[in-house]
Homo-oligomer: A and B are copies of this chain.
Amino acid sequence: MKKICMFAAALVLSLSGTLMAQTKKSFTLDDLMYSGSNFWNLQPENLHNAWWGDVLVQLNADDVCTLAVKGKAVARKPIFNLADANAVIEAAGLGKVHSLYYASFPYAEKSQVLLKNSKNTVLYDWKEKKVLWSQPRVSGAIAEDFNLAARSTAYVREHNLYVMDASGKEHQISTDGSRELVYGQSVHRDEFGIHKGTFWSPKGTRLAFYRMDQTMVTDFPLVDIDHRVAKLVPEKYPMAGMTSHKVSVGIYTPATKSVVYLQTGDPTDRYFTNVAWSPDEQTVYLIELPRTQDKAELVAYDAATGARKQVLYTETNSKYVHPMHPIMFLPWDETQFLYRSERDGYDHLYLMSVNGGEPRQLTKGAWVVVDVLGFNVKTRSVIISSTESLPIRNNLYSVNVSTGKRTPLDGGTGVHTATLSASGAFICDRWSSPDVIRKIDVVNTAKATSVNLLTSADPWAEYEVPEITGGTLKAADGTTDLYYRMVKPVGFDPTKKYPTVVYVYGGPGVRNVEETRNYMTRGWEIYMAQRGYLIFVLDNRGSSGRGFEFESCTYRRLGEEEMKDQLKGVEYLKSLPYVDADRMGVHGWSFGGFMTANLMCSYPDVFKVGVSGGPVIDWKYYEVMYGERYMDTPQENPEGYEATSLLNKAKNLKGRLQVIVGYNDPVCVLQHSLAFLQACEDAGTQPDYFVYPGEGHNMMGKDMIHLHERITRYFDDFLK
């Protein structure tokens, strides 16, 4: 017998009773997924906020007001409106600003707002009704990166890196940029937390930037059909075990118009990650890894000369280290910074000194730090969110940097995402839980008191909504708790048997079940529940937020432990009288597409129907950074690659499996799915297939709706 721990009250939004049900509306897919008008009508109420120093500001399309917290009350006070601002900005020949949703307030207590339109960035004083400063935006520029202190913008145009300084002068930093020689953009295929390629020093006197030479990397032949004759659009794609790119980090000093490169040594098969600046702008810090990813070194470089100064910290792990966060200096002590590490098995904060010495662990426990929001300078604390109270929650805490003492800043349930005020005295906390549709609170980080700004009414009150519950079950290792959510069919009748679809991701870095509104149920799941399906989502071992061992038990054999856990979910489902064990389906995308195809081929008698989107089929076709972290290279781990390759399992396919991909997917390239089809053809098995020309790894806009109609139809065809 299975012991099921119900960790939260079931969320029952639908009214029972056939009579009532008939009066309620049903959702369309557009209602649930598309950015159409009714989609927005059906979203929880919202407020756009920004911080103006420690004053919270409410951004509306046409005006802005302050939200002053007085005790438990909030006083709204308009400060300026768009029409007045535009009158001045347009008169200055700087064009028209279209809304105030993206306004920012750079200087506490000054009546100045930073606004943008497609042509200019404008600093406007709403009291003086004057444009104080403006900067033109360069046509065709990408990767724009603005530094407020220097009022300078770095950007890339036609492959080369530029800076426009506060006076509007353009500095060209590189001249030989190309598709193969990439400047100022994200490198290492966005792994190691890298999502951009320029890093201003705090005061904007220097710009660190990435340069990536990928001339030596194989081109993957992507084809763009949106031309009179289809065109090759090659994508530099280093596949596992093959030659990779070479990255370096340059430092540009606008004052001297000079570039130096950090003296890292030969960049072959090395990763330069997590660029950070010292507060005095004299030092640049990188976290460096060899291609094997079993070591991370925190290295300090002289920003003026590029000289390698010091290795401040080294961490090794026989599986892998996975640094994702640049160091953060304490605002009150320029010699001390926070380093995030999984060295004790969980992602925690360590206090380190630029002068070396043993790191001091600041947070500890069988839970992980999810985010570091910043610091409360006055209380000398760091504000974090973590999973301390439950793996599926994110709660806010103030952590005293001296004592390590944690003070909870929220009610201890749900998932909170927050922004910190300038001094760190306040946070604006936006959260939900199975009981809370959406709340926005203002929290005093010193006193841990909060005032509610907004509590959303139920936007789905007129709709028939399925019953959504969460729970845990034991992983295949017999000890680990796994979290799931279940979406019951609309009009659920426990005496009936329902076709059941497992939705899965299952890969590292992602958590699918959170203690949010509806446990994070996706629109499509609601849609499927309306059509009479039961949906089940389980975060298996290998997924995120549970520590290193939970994630890395899949090392060198991606998919195997993950599937065992999913089978535990199936075992549980089969124990339920209302689940039809003969009508089990599975669906997932990306890693979840890999899981789906894998489950269909590895457990052909369990799942009758699967829809596998953008799947990995064989890890040798995946890229170097992510792939080798979890699988090593094909040369080092041939048996792991063989054992996990779906090319070898294609022959086992029995049920109906549709593979769906974006034809221009640069992440899981087309070779995965095509090689799978070929393997099936050779083996005489019959998958189904569909492609979205022009789409990448995920479908966008209308194609997303088309895709989910398609997925639904496939289950309707073969599982219903």
Contacts and interface: CB of A to CB of B under 8 A. Distances in A.
Given A691-B689, A713-B686, A232 B232 contact: yes
Contact of A694 (B234, B678, B702): B678
A220 B225 contact: no
B669 A692 contact: no
A195 interface: no
A661 to B, nearest CB: 11
A237 B232 contact: no
Interface stretch (A294-302, A522-530, A703-711): A703-711
Chain B CB within 10 Å — which of A239, A671, A710 has the most?
Answer: A671
B220 A670 contact: no
Given A230-B220, A689-B690, A674 B681 contact: no
A663 interface: yes
Given A669-B230, A670-B230, A706-B681, A223 B221 contact: yes
Contact of A717 (B620, B690, B691, B717): B717
A99 interface: no
Interface in A677-720: 677-678, 681-682, 684, 686, 688-694, 702-703, 705-706, 709-710, 713, 717
B230 A242 contact: no
A229 interface: yes
A709 B685 CA distance: 10
Given A681-B702, A690-B688, A709-B686, A228 B239 contact: yes
B674 A663 contact: yes
Interface in A452-466: none
Interface in A608-660: 620
A703 B690 contact: no
A681 B663 contact: no
B703 A225 contact: no
Given A691-B677, A691-B689, A692-B681, A221 B228 contact: no
Interface in A237-253: 237, 239, 242
A235 to B, nearest CB: 11
5 contacts: A219-B229, A220-B230, A225-B674, A678-B692, A686-B706
Given A218-B229, A221-B221, A230-B671, 19 more contacts: A219-B232, A220-B229, A221-B231, A225-B675, A228-B242, A229-B242, A229-B671, A232-B234, A663-B674, A674-B691, A677-B691, A677-B693, A678-B692, A681-B703, A682-B702, A684-B709, A686-B706, A686-B709, A686-B710
A693 B675 CA distance: 8
Interface residues of A, number: 43
Contacts of A620: 228
Nearest 10 CB-CB pairings of A with B: A221-B232, A674-B693, A218-B229, A678-B693, A230-B671, A225-B674, A221-B223, A681-B706, A689-B690, A225-B671
Chain B CB within 10 Å — which of A218, A229, A677, A684 has the most?
Answer: A229
Contacts of A709: 684, 686
Nearest to A660: B689
A91 B450 CA distance: 102
Contacts of A686: 706, 709-710, 713
A228 B633 CA distance: 14
A310 B220 CA distance: 53
A234 to B, nearest CB: 8
Nearest to A672: B225
A503 to B, nearest CB: 21
Contacts of A237: 229
A243 to B, nearest CB: 11
Contacts of A693: 674-675, 677-678, 681
A675 B220 CA distance: 21
Contacts of A684: 702, 705-706, 709
A707 to B, nearest CB: 9
Chain B CB within 10 Å — which of A220, A677, A703 has the most?
Answer: A677
A615 to B, nearest CB: 15
Nearest to A703: B681
A221 B232 CA distance: 6
A694 B674 CA distance: 9
Chain B CB within 10 Å — which of A219, A669, A693, A703 has the most?
Answer: A693
